[in-house]
Amino acid sequence: MGIPLAYNFRNLAVRKTTTAMTALGIALTVAVLLAVLALVEGLQDAFRASGHPLHIIVVRKGSESELVSNFSRAAYQDVRVKAGIARAPSGESMASLEIVTVINVPSVSNPDGANVTLRGLSPVGIEMRDLRVVAGRWFETGRREVVVGEAIARRNPEAGLGKRLRFGRGDWRVVGIFDTDKASARSEMFADVNQVSADFDRVETLSSALVRAVDAAAAAALIRDINDDRRLNSTAQTELDYYAAQMRAGRPVQYVGMVVAIIMAVGSSFAAMNTMYAAVARRAREIGTLRVLGFSRASILLSFLLESLLLAAFGGLLGCLLALPLNTVTAALGNITTFSEIAFQFRVTPAIAVTGVAFALIMGALGGLFPARMAARKEILTALREM
């Protein structure tokens, strides 16, 4: 015969102050864990959304990113005529020679300036990325004009429409703001590839080439062809794989956050344990009475353990509620591969919320097991004599 669940709910309600304080401690621990997981999930989502399954990025062999790659115009000319590359409606090969560098722009969170990715590209590169201007217009070739991502315009007041930025060999005018479904692009600035390469003295040696294959089979064959071509001395990979490798930017934050959450979890488990030990001490006569009524030691152990789990579940759900507003928060994190910031939105997914509640239940189980065992082992007469 098991002890009714209503008994546990009544005891939690009677000790409402202790219950609330313990649940709050568990909730804060869960909220910290969810914040870390939501950050990593948001960053992963930003990188996942940045890749196109048929896009291939070509960089110099041995380069981990476009920023440190030296890709020549001669190599680009050899790549753009390879078999398997799609054609634009104009009949032009869908291959874009690009240069990537970093400039410093003051931001809301960093008035002294934050690194922003500047990408020089051709008109076909814009077409391949499915970008849309939401304010102003696109830059004109041969002029010092830039179009900035929506995330940059929001976080960097000095990069607003009509503003002037000084880098390279002169002043560049912001003539447009664009948006896109490709999350990482929102944190970039785009300009004419030839003007950028001239201003940074990299006329012949740029950064990379972006090409679009006609289909998945052609993409795999094209990657093999480029990687095996010794004349190019280049490495080709899908855009999806390229951005997946950049997820290293979120790993240090993830590791530190998990360590903090585990330390807080240990403290919350001890808090739950103290709460349940106090409950066992105050309810000694109740435990004795339950034994007299015929409830077994196993039933008492299960009841007290279940009570601790209920307390933890309440804290876990409260922690989820505390973390939900993070879904409206947009943040930026420095990318250790590109040495620039990438904007992303925190994402508290249902799976992350379930993880938080499960984490809380583990804390409740650890905190309630020993007090429950102590309650179950009490002798009937000893329990009835205790005040």
pLDDT digits (tens, 9 = 90+) for 34-45: 888 888 787 777
One domain for residues 165 and 309: no
One domain for residues 39 and 66: no
Predicted confidence (pLDDT) at residue 377 exceeds the cutoff of 60:
yes
- In-domain check, residue 158: yes
What's the rounded Cα separation, in Å, for the pair 209 and 77? Answer: 10
Looking at residues 321-349, what average pLDDT do you find?
72
- Among 185, 201, 232, residue at a domain's last position: 232
Least confident span in 107-116, 191-200, 244-253:
244-253
Looking at per-residue pLDDT, the higher value among 244 and 321 belongs to 321
- Joined tokens for residue 38: 């939501």
Question: Cα–Cα distances in Å, from 257 out to 74, 339, 350, 354?
Answer: 46, 22, 20, 18
Q: Percentage of residues in the chain with pLDDT exceeding 70?
A: 79
- Among 232, 258, 278, residue at a domain's last position: 232
pTM for the structure as a whole: 0.70
Q: What is the pLDDT of residue 140?
A: 92
One domain for residues 225 and 86: yes
Element (H or E) spanning 222, and its range?
Answer: helix 216-228
Predicted confidence (pLDDT) at residue 47 exceeds the cutoff of 90:
no
Residue 69 backbone dihedrals phi, psi, to 5 degrees: -90, 145
Q: What is the pLDDT of residue 387?
A: 47
Are β-strands 114-121 and 188-192 bridged in parallel, bridged antiparallel, or unpaired? Answer: parallel
Predicted confidence (pLDDT) at residue 242 exceeds the cutoff of 90:
no
* Overall residue count recorded for the chain in this entry: 387
- Among 180, 199, 232, residue at a domain's last position: 232
One domain for residues 174 and 303: no
Q: Percentage of residues in the chain with pLDDT exceeding 90?
A: 29
What's the rounded Cα separation, in Å, for the pair 213 and 220? Answer: 9
pLDDT tens-digit map of 182-218: 667 778 899 999 999 999 999 999 999 999 999 999 9
One domain for residues 260 and 207: no
Looking at per-residue pLDDT, the higher value among 32 and 249 belongs to 32
Domain range holding 110? 62-232
Number of domains in the chain: 2
Q: What is the pLDDT of residue 77?
A: 93
- In-domain check, residue 55: no
- In-domain check, residue 366: yes
One domain for residues 80 and 220: yes
- Joined tokens for residue 146: 């830039």
Looking at residues 248-270, what average pLDDT do you find?
70
pLDDT tens-digit map of 358-372: 988 888 887 777 777
Confidence tier at 86 by pLDDT (50, 70, 90) = very high
- Joined tokens for residue 23: 């649940």
Amino acid at 47: F
Question: Cα–Cα distances in Å, from 343 out to 137, 150, 161, 277, 332?
Answer: 23, 10, 19, 47, 4
What's the rounded Cα separation, in Å, for the pair 289 and 120? Answer: 80
Write down the mean pLDDT value for the chain.
81
- In-domain check, residue 163: yes
Report for 41-45, 57-61, 310-314, 377-381: range of highest mean pLDDT: 57-61
Q: What is the pLDDT of residue 221?
A: 94
Determine contact, residues 329/91, Cβ cutoff 8 Å: no
Q: What is the pLDDT of residue 206?
A: 93
User: Locate tokens 């990593």: which residue?
Assistant: 40
One domain for residues 221 and 74: yes
Confidence tier at 291 by pLDDT (50, 70, 90) = low
- In-domain check, residue 209: yes
- Joined tokens for residue 288: 């004795």
Looking at residues 81-100, what average pLDDT do you find?
89
Looking at per-residue pLDDT, the higher value among 288 and 130 belongs to 130
Predicted confidence (pLDDT) at residue 174 exceeds the cutoff of 50:
yes
